[in-house]
Amino acid sequence: MLFNLPPNVTELPANAGNPETALAPKNSVQSTTDFGKPGFGGACPPAGDKPHRYIFTVYALKLDALPLDKTASGAMVGFFLNANALEKASLTTYYGR
C-alpha cells in the first residue's frame, strides 16, 4: 500500500513500489503488506491456475494526509481511506501463468 501521495502526482515511475529504489513520491508512505514488509510483492498466481484479479484503487480524500505511518496494517489504512474518501477510482487487471 502506498498512501499520502501529494495531490499533484499524476503517475508513478516503474518500480515505485520497491522501497529500495526510493522512487515513490516524497512524503508518501508504503505500509506493511500481507508479505510482512512494505513494497509491492508483485503478481504471482500459481502456474496453471486461472488468471488472478488485481485491483488498484486511487482515493481522493478530505484530509491532506492520513495520520498513519509505515507500520499501519492494510485494514487500518483501508478504514481511514473509506472514512475520509471523497471519490475513488479502480482499475482491475488480470494476470495468469
- Are 95 and 54 in contact by the 8 Å Cβ rule? The answer is yes
Q: Which amino acid is at 76?
A: M
| Reported pTM | 0.80
Dist. CA 95–CA 85, nearest whole Å = 28
pLDDT at 33: 81
Sign of the C-alpha dihedral, residues 34, 29, 19, 23?
Answer: positive
Domain boundaries, the chain: 2-37+44-95
Count of Cβ atoms closer than 10 Å to residue 16 Cβ: 20
- Whether the per-residue pLDDT at 1 is higher than 90: the answer is no
Q: How is domain 2-37+44-95 classified at the architecture level of CATH? A: Alpha-Beta Complex (3.90)
pLDDT digits (tens, 9 = 90+) for 80-95: 999 999 999 999 999 9
pLDDT digits (tens, 9 = 90+) for 18-50: 888 999 999 999 988 877 888 777 788 899 999
Q: What share of the chain is helix, strand, coil (3-state, %, to 5)?
A: 15, 30, 60
Tell me the pLDDT band of 76, cut-offs 50, 70 and 90: very high
